[in-house]
């Protein structure tokens, strides 16, 4: 029994030592046959692009801040001018919900710019013929009044509405 236990302990120690030493000598990447004995010194210092990276980071940060500010501004326009009739999600108040409208515009338009232009045109002068919604929507809610905001604000809120799209929303075709 002692021999059996002793042979297992020796085997375990042997395996552990081989694993330790082989792990220390592993090299990554290709190995050349001839390794230089002294480090190769470069005559010119390595170039760094810290200014470019810094400028890129600053620009990206500024763009992100501007996008966040625009989003907050558009949401504030929604809350001030649209929220009283358009809830974010069903059930609808006195007009279709924003998430349902976003789904309808996404189903009709492949590009944001066309949808935003159409939304702005509709908000400025609502008409049944300009709507993307079915007749059931007008029977239920009627036609919305014209929105008297500057075009810039209408574009911001329309762009924001487009971004409210939820692919998991399963609302009715007439924006219930």
pLDDT one-digit tens code per residue, 31-48: 444 444 555 554 555 555
Domain enclosing residue 95, as ranges: 69-163
CA distance 153 to 85: 18
In a domain, 96, yes or no: yes
pLDDT one-digit tens code per residue, 144-160: 999 999 999 999 999 99
Decide if pLDDT at 14 tops 50.
no
Share of the chain above pLDDT 70, in %: 66
Could you tell me how far CA 155 lies from the centroid of its own chain?
20
In a domain, 27, yes or no: no
User: What is the reported pLDDT for 31?
Assistant: 41
- CATH number of the domain within which 75 lies: 1.10.760.10
In a domain, 120, yes or no: yes
In a domain, 47, yes or no: no
User: What is the reported pLDDT for 93?
Assistant: 85
**How many structural domains are present in the chain?**
1
In a domain, 75, yes or no: yes
DSSP state of 133: S
Q: How many CB atoms lie within 10 A of CB 18?
A: 10
């Amino acid at each position: 029994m002692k021999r059996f236990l002793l042979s297992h302990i020796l085997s375990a120690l042997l395996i552990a030592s081989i694993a330790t030493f082989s792990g220390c000598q592993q090299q990554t990447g290709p190995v050349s046959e001839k390794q230089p004995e002294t480090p190769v010194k470069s005559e010119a210092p390595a170039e760094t692009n810290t200014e470019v990276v810094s400028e890129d980071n600053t620009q990206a940060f500024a763009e992100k801040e501007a996008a966040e500010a625009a989003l907050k501004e558009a949401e504030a326009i929604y809350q001030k001018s649209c929220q009283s009739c358009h809830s974010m999600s069903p059930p609808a108040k006195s007009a279709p919900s924003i998430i349902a409208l976003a789904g309808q515009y996404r189903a009709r338009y492949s590009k944001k710019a066309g949808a935003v232009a159409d939304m702005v045109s509709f908000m400025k002068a609502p008409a049944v013929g300009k709507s993307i919604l079915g007749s059931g929507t007008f029977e239920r809610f009627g036609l919305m009044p014209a929105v008297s905001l500057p075009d810039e604000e209408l574009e911001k809120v329309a762009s924001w509405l487009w971004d409210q799209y939820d692919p998991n929303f399963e609302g009715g075709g007439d924006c219930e």
